[in-house]
Amino acid sequence: MTVVLGSSKVVPRRRRRPRSYWALRIGIAVLVFYAAVALISFVWTPYDPLTPGIGDGYDAPSWAFPLGTDRLGSDMLSRLMVGARYDLGIAFVAVLIALTVGTTIGTLAGYFGGKLDTAVMRAVEIFQAFPGLLFAMLVVQAVGAGIVNVILVLSFVGIPDYLRLARAEIHAKRDWQYAEAARLAGNLPWRVAFRYLLPNSVGPLLAFTSINAAFAALVTASLGFLGLGLGPNVPEWGNMIARGQDGVMTGQWWVSFFPGLAILGLTGGLYLLGDALSDITDPRRRGR
C-alpha cells in the first residue's frame, strides 16, 4: 500500500538538467533571432538590398554601413537580413516535408514489415549510396535553379534519413509489451503505430530534425555558393560568399565573412537545439 517513489529518477535529472537547459535556451534564442531578422526584413531593411551603388563598392564596415558594402556597393546588412528569409525558409519547408513523408513511410515499414519494408529499405540503401550534396547538385543542374526546385531536392535528400530513423525506432518497439497491450485493448494497427509507438520516438526524431535543418541550410548555401541555387543576384548567403571571394584576396574580408558567420550561427544554434531536445523530450527527464 505504501507509495514507493524511486529515488533513482531524481539523481540523473538533477545532473542532466542544467546542461540541457542552457543548450536549449541558446538554441531557441539563436533560432528566434534569425526568424525575427527574417520577418523584420519584410518590413524594414537599412537600405534596399538589391540596389547597387549605395556605397562606393567595398566600403569597410562603418556607422553608415555596419557590415560594409559589396563590390557593387550594395549594403551588406540589408542583404544579410533578406538572406535569412531564403536560408531559413528553405531549410524549414524542406525539413517539414522530409519529416512528414519520411516518418510516415518509415513508421509503416517498421510496423508492418514484410515485403513493403524490404522494398522500401532496399530503395533507400541504393539512394543513399549517392552523397546528398552531389545528388542535390545534379538534380538542380538538370531541372534548373529556383526556390521550389531547391526545396524539393532538399526534402527528397532528407527523406531517407527520417525514414530509416522512424523505421528503426518503430521496428524495435513493435514487439514491446506496451504495444502488445495497446493491441489487446482493441486498437487498430495504424493507431498502435502512430498514436502509441511514434510518440515514443519524438525525442530522436526531433533531435534529428534540428540537425537535418542545419544540413539543409548548409546545402542551400553550398548550392548558392556553386551558383546552382537561386540565381546570381538573390541575396542568399551562399551566393553572397561566392560574390565576396575576390575581396578576400585583396583585404575586403567582410563581404564573405558575414554571410559565413550567419551560416555558422544558424547551424550551430540548430545543433545545440537538437542535442537539448533529445534530452528534454525523454519523459524520464521531464520536470514538473
Partner 1 sequence: MSDVLLEIEDYSGGFRSETGDFLPVLHGVSYRLKTGVMTAVVGESGSGKSLVALSILGIQPPAFERSGGRILFRGTDLLSLDERGMRRIRGAEISMVFQDARAALNPVFTVGRQLADVWQLQHGGGRSAAMKQAIEALRRVSIPEPERRARQYPHEFSGGMAQRAMIAMASLICQPSLLILDEPTTGLDVTIQSDIMELIVELSRTRGLTTCLITHDLGVVAETCDEVVVMNAGRVVEIGSVEAIFTTPRDLYTQRLLSASQLVEAA
| Positions in the binding site for partner 1 (CB under 8 A) | 1, 3-6, 9, 176-178, 180-188, 196, 199-200, 202, 283-284, 286
Least distance CB 11 / partner 1 (angstroms): 13
**The three grid cell numbers given for residue 87, joined into one nine-digit string:** 536560408
In degrees and rounded to multiples of 5, residue 286 shows phi and psi of -75, 130
CA distance 159 to 143: 19
DSSP conformational letter for 188: -
Per the listing, cell 544579410 goes with 80
Least distance CB 107 / partner 1 (angstroms): 15
Least distance CB 201 / partner 1 (angstroms): 9
CA distance 88 to 93: 9
DSSP calls for 268-287: HHHHHHHHHHHHHTSGGG--
Least distance CB 9 / partner 1 (angstroms): 6
Q: Which is nearer to partner 1, 114 or 251 (CB)?
A: 114
CA distance 146 to 192: 40
Least distance CB 3 / partner 1 (angstroms): 6
DSSP conformational letter for 197: I
Least distance CB 17 / partner 1 (angstroms): 16
Q: Which is nearer to partner 1, 131 or 199 (CB)?
A: 199
Per the listing, cell 522512424 goes with 166
Q: Which is nearer to partner 1, 84 or 179 (CB)?
A: 179
DSSP conformational letter for 251: T
Q: Which is nearer to partner 1, 98 or 182 (CB)?
A: 182
Fill in the amino acid letter for 119.
Answer: A
Least distance CB 10 / partner 1 (angstroms): 11
Task: Give the C-alpha distances (Å, rounded to integers) separating 15 from 12, 90, 276.
Answer: 5, 37, 14
Q: Which is nearer to partner 1, 268 or 282 (CB)?
A: 282
User: Are the CB atoms for 80 and 140 separated by under 8 Å?
Assistant: no
Fill in the amino acid letter for 213.
Answer: A
Least distance CB 115 / partner 1 (angstroms): 15
Q: Which is nearer to partner 1, 103 or 256 (CB)?
A: 103
Q: Which ranges in 113-253 belong to alpha helices (H)?
A: 114-128, 132-143, 147-173, 177-184, 189-191, 202-225, 237-250
Q: Which is nearer to partner 1, 167 or 174 (CB)?
A: 174
Q: Which is nearer to partner 1, 232 or 283 (CB)?
A: 283
CA pseudo-torsion sign 194, 200, 201, 202: positive
CA distance 154 to 86: 13
